[in-house]
Structure formats: C-alpha cells, structure tokens
Amino acid sequence: MQLVSKTQCFDGAQCQYTHRSDVLDCEMRFSVFLPSQAEKDESFPVIYWLSGLTCTDENFSQKAGAQRMAAELGIVLVIPDTSPRGDDVADDEGYDLGKGAGFYVNATQTPWKPHYRMYDYIVDELPALIEANFPVGDRRAICGHSMGGHGALTIALKNPGRFTSVSAFSPICNPIACPWGEKAFSAYLGEDRSTWEEYDATVLLSRATERLPMLISQGEEDQFLEQQLKPNALEAAAEAAGYPVKIEHHAGYDHSYYFIASFIEQHLRFHADYLLAH
C-alpha cells in the first residue's frame, strides 16, 4: 500500500492510497478520511462510500463535503474506486460499461471475468486491508450513490451481520429491469437473467431475513428517476416484505453531487446512531 497524498482537513487527514489488488489483478486506488481522533490508539467505526458511473474515489472526497461531519462524529470514511483500472483491463466505449462502471458484481463472462470482481473487492479484500492498516474495528456501515447506491444496498442485503446500517442516494433499485442494469448484467453475467437477481436490491430485499436500518434519498427532479432508478419497485417490495426502509423524496433535487452535499450530514448522522451505539 502506497500513500499518494495526505491533506489536512477539519483537523483530520484526507488521504489517497494505491495498492495491488489480488482480487482484481490490477493496481487500485482508494481514499480515506481519518478524523483527528484517529491519531489515538483507539478503534473507530468506518463508513464505506460507493460511487456511481464514471466516478473515481475523488468525486465523493472532493464534492460531497462529508469530512466536517465525519470529523465531528469520529468516523473514518473509506472511498474506493468504481472499477478495476489499467491498460490490461477490458473496457467499452460506453460510459455505462467497463472502466468506471464495475457495478459491484463478480463478472463471469469474457472479457470481464479476470478483473471485474468488484463485489469480492468491496466485501472482502478492501475491508481486510483497511482493518489491517488503519485504526478501525468491525463496526461498519455502507452507503453510495446511483450505481454505488445499488452496490451499497445489494452488498448489505447479501451479507447479514456485516453492517450496522445502509443508505443510498438515488440508487439503481431494480437493475434487472432498467437499461443500465440490463446492459451491464448481460455483459458481466451473461444472458441467464436468473443470475442477475443476486445483484438486484429489489429482489434481494424481498428475500431478506435481516431487517437492517435503511435510508434512501431520492431527488424528484432526477433525470434518471423513472427509466433507470425505479425506487417505486423497491418501495413496493419493502411494503410487501414488511421491511422498514425509509425512502425520502426531495422536491427540486437532481442526480448531482449538489444533492448529495445537501443531505450527506443526515446520512452520516443516520449511520452514527447505529455505529456509535453501545
């Protein structure tokens, strides 16, 4: 693990690292915010943030304004990249497939299978690296935006007991039934649509046994709302399953980081209620 940069921020440190990923078979980059309290010999809770299509680890760290509240709460933020990277990694001309569009799945199809295993990277490899090298314990929460909201919801739902809470901004809620998801899943997972259900939050929520605290924020002026995101499908599944998800609709807000910056404090405080509970 190599330190790329370290910048003081709200008396803490915003850092960027690179490391060799065995799971993805390439060099990866991630960002970490460490509050000032993390200098002490203690163990702090951690929130994993998963970003959306075309993003890297820098979008959230530079645009969301999350560090102030994370510093106040004493929570470490971990922000991974959205896909494998490198000259040997398969790519596509479209923004919604390939580099920058890993969709947090384990690809089973050629040419994606050798590198596109973002699910295993987020669930296993990256947390092991973080917990071995930073002052964090096993108190974890997860959240994300758009494709990253899809990733946060599906990873939380597929791993009962791993996270204290999950939240998402404008998540792709029903990818098996939207153009983004159909394109990505057919490429990464193949034409057997039954395998797609393992990465669909609406399907997973309907089958869930754990009732994890869940918060979703959706802007009503989001240009992707009806065709790509489909929160109504998740809301209907939650109602049918008796799953207590809190879905908030915000008039006037779109899909951008202005929306995230407006409500990131609410999300961090939501997670803190569970991460910091004793």
19 annotated active-site: no
Largest CA distance in the chain: 51
Q: Are 235 and 201 in contact (CB under 8 A)?
A: no
Angle of CA points 242, 216, 227, to nearest 5°? 100
25 annotated active-site: no
Q: Which of 146, 165, 170, 217 is catalytic?
A: 146
Lookup: tokens for 162: 């791993």
Kindly report the length of the chain: 278
Q: Which of 222, 262, 267, 271 is catalytic?
A: 222
Lookup: tokens for 64: 């969301």
Angle of CA points 84, 85, 88, to nearest 5°? 105
Lookup: tokens for 142: 């997860």
186 annotated active-site: no
Cα separation, 276 vs 272, in Å, equals: 5
Q: Are 235 and 223 in contact (CB under 8 A)?
A: no
Cα separation, 77 vs 119, in Å, equals: 19
Lookup: tokens for 94: 């479209």
Q: Is 79 helix (H, G, I), strand (E, B) or coil?
A: strand
Active-site residue list: 146, 222, 255
